Amino acid sequence: MAKSAEPVSHRRILFASLVGTSVEFYDFYIYATATALVFGPLFFPAQEPWLQQVAAYASFSVAFFARPLGGLVFGHFGDRLGRKSTLVASLMLMGLSTVLIGCLPGHAVLGWGAPLLLCMLRFGQGLGLGGEWGGASLLAVEYAPKGWAYRYGSFPPLGAPVGFIAANGLFLLLGAFLSDDAFRDWGWRLPFLASAALVGLGLWVRLRIAETPAFVEAAEHAPPPQVPLGVLMRDHLGATLAGTLGTVACFALFYVATLFAIGFGTKTLGYPREAFLGVELAAILFMALGIGVAGWLADKRGATLVLGVGCLAMVPLGLAMPVLLVPGSLGAVFVWLAAGLFVMGFVYGPLGGWLPSLFPAQVRYTGVSVTFNLGGILGGGLTPLIAQTLVQRGGIGMVGWYLAAAAGLSLIGLLLTRRRS
């Protein structure tokens, strides 16, 4: 039977849920930024620069196919052994994979062994993150006072902008102090190596928290299921489908507005790397604002309504891409990025409370992890690659319609949830 440790403050719980996802997303985003800036020529030599970029984006997508497996593994143990120990293990796996990427030689040294090892370590990153987000959400939500579930649940999603700011802020500083040659040769490795210190901080915080009350209560009433995934598929298949579709929009929008936009803005529109990263850093603050507003509204008006508003707002946002994502007007680019990331807060922030609400405590870790990570494959795994291909064949307007289609899938998931209710 699970035992709860001594009572802990809610501030410590919220900080633990935030710091872990911040570190994990930092690790994830430094890979994304390096993919957009240096990984193409370093690991995937090709005669055409756009083919290098497509290959680099393909390596980025590897983690999204690892994430559901990570969600299954960590979800299984999170439902059987508890949230705390599982979250510690996921953070260690993610951090080790990230540090090793920073030590990896390029294609010029290892030949095709370099991209192979890069993809293997990227797979390790995906396994770790696959178990992180769901567990961090449960840590916050299962401690939340009545009527505060979505505000507490918004803390793990806040790890996304915090990690993004830390990752890209560090890349921006490196760009300011290093020459382009030094950055390509060795400077890009420093953010990966710095992850070791951040992981140490996350582990110190996580090891000092207690098991969640919901898990302890569920274990006292009945033993954990032997195979949580089997129970999930047998009794909660409809909720799993609805939750998976409901997460598609947030992934598609985020990776268009960040990873794809960085590559498109610097390579196609011709903006300087440091200038575009600075604009992204300013725009990401609107995502944090959107998450906070959406969490408050979800507690007051319901998560389904807030998520639905965010999905509908993605349609005009996509249609505005050819008007605002243009060369020679960084202000217009900022307007689109800020608007897109604010809307991102509405389709992402409430998920921290909405997905756990779909499942009982006995299979909640597995349910949240499976739905969030399957939605990541559908909405984010191939999004940068698809967006790059759409631009080559039909222009930036095609990417806008892609965002609208992703929003439509999430609206279907929300409607399925309402029918189940």
pLDDT tens figures, 178-196:
888 888 889 989 999 998 8
pLDDT, averaged across the chain: 86
Say how far apart CA 243 and CA 246 lie, in whole Å.
5
327-362: per-residue pLDDT in tens?
A: 989 999 999 999 999 999 999 999 999 999 999 988
355-390: per-residue pLDDT in tens?
A: 999 999 889 989 998 999 889 888 887 787 888 889
Report CA dihedral (239, 240, 243, 244) to the nearest 10 degrees: -150
Q: How far is CA 317 from the centre of its chain?
A: 21
| Backbone dihedral region for residue 395 (phi beyond 0: left; psi -120 to 50: alpha; all else: beta) | left
CB-neighbour burial class of residue 184 (10 A; exposed 0-12, middle 13-18, buried 19+): middle
Task: From 87, 117, 83, 288, select the one nearest 199 (Cα to Cα).
Answer: 87
pLDDT at residue 48 tops 80: no
Report CA dihedral (11, 17, 21, 23) to the nearest 10 degrees: 50
Mean pLDDT on 2-15: 62
Read off the pLDDT band of 6 (50, 70, 90): very low
Task: From 254, 323, 71, 404, select the one nearest 262 (Cα to Cα).
Answer: 254
Domains of the chain: 10-420 (1.20.1250.20)
Concatenated DSSP letters of 37-69: IIIHHHH---SSHHHHHHHHHHHHHHHHHHHHH
Written as one letter, the residue type at 385 is L
Q: What is the pLDDT of residue 206?
A: 77
CB of 299 closer than 8 Å to CB of 147? yes
CB of 164 closer than 8 Å to CB of 29? yes
Say how far apart CA 130 and CA 382 lie, in whole Å.
17
Say how far apart CA 42 and CA 105 lie, in whole Å.
9
More confident site: 221 or 30:
30
Say how far apart CA 161 and CA 288 lie, in whole Å.
6
Read off the pLDDT band of 23 (50, 70, 90): confident
Task: From 134, 379, 165, 182, select the one nearest 288 (Cα to Cα).
Answer: 165
Side-chain-facing half-sphere of 68: CA atoms under 13 Å: 16
274-283: per-residue pLDDT in tens?
A: 888 889 889 9
More confident site: 243 or 179:
243
Read off the pLDDT band of 4 (50, 70, 90): very low
65-121: per-residue pLDDT in tens?
A: 888 888 889 888 888 887 778 888 888 898 899 999 999 998 888 888 888 999 999
- Six-digit token pair at 133? 């987000």
Q: What are phi and psi of 339, to 5 degrees?
A: -65, -45
Task: From 5, 1, 53, select the one nearest 266 (Cα to Cα).
Answer: 53
